[in-house]
Amino acid sequence: YFKHRENKIFSSYQELIFDIVIFYSNKNYGAKQNQFWIDHTPNNIKHVASLLDHFPECKLIHLVRDGRAVSSSVMGLEWGPNNIISAAEWWIQNLSFGLAAELRYPTNIMRVNFEDLITHPHEVIKKICNFINLPFKPEMLDGGGFIVPDYTKGQHKLVERKIDSSRRYSWKNKLTKRQIEIFEFKTHEMLTYLGYDLE
């Protein structure tokens, strides 16, 4: 990117970011009208105030998922916590940022429960589209249309696939009973507040 833009001068951080996004989009998808920039970096939840300072009209989706399922997904990743105790603490910390941001910026943030998304995808995706002012199209339920960068393909194997409701409790087969017990000991109040049943 910077090789192609080395002589361009930007007047703001926002202008630089938009230029990078448009460059990436045009390179991977071709020039299109009415583009939407969607970013799903989990750490963004810690920087909501800064993001809204730079992009005041942006909309954020706070995706809340059962912490046991989150732990079973992230413990195997290079960047995630590597044991159940640190996974529990990591989940609580990130979730807390999201819940606080929801209270501070209610018009910019919509909470979506992962479990609702995979069991009632049509209704939930319609609500998301309405929130972000994007027309709903039934083909959104089919997956596809996103080019996963090579460096993240290992952890994003399911991105292009259709929503699979059977994955709701896949963590029960991935975590040991002891890991579930430890996670619930560390987080049982939060799990209960969010409506998740304890094992």
Cβ neighbours of 80 (radius 10 Å): 16
pLDDT value at residue 195: 95
pLDDT value at residue 86: 96
In sequence order, what are the residues at sequence separation of 6 or more whose Cβ sits closer than 8 angstroms to the Cβ of residue 25?
32, 35, 37
pLDDT value at residue 172: 95
Q: Which residues of the chain have pLDDT under 70?
A: 1-6, 29, 31-35, 144-161
In sequence order, what are the residues at sequence separation of 6 or more whose Cβ sits closer than 8 angstroms to the Cβ of residue 17?
54
Residue type, 135: P
pLDDT value at residue 32: 66
The model's pTM is 0.80
pLDDT value at residue 160: 65
pLDDT value at residue 113: 96
pLDDT value at residue 3: 61
Backbone angles phi, psi at 28, to 5 degrees: -95, -30
In SS3 terms, 72-135 reads as HHHCCCCCCCCCHHHHHHHHHHHHHHHHHHHHHCCCCEEEEEHHHHHHCHHHHHHHHHHHHCCC
List the one residue out of 13, 93, 100, 11 whose CA is nearest residue 60.
100
pLDDT value at residue 85: 97
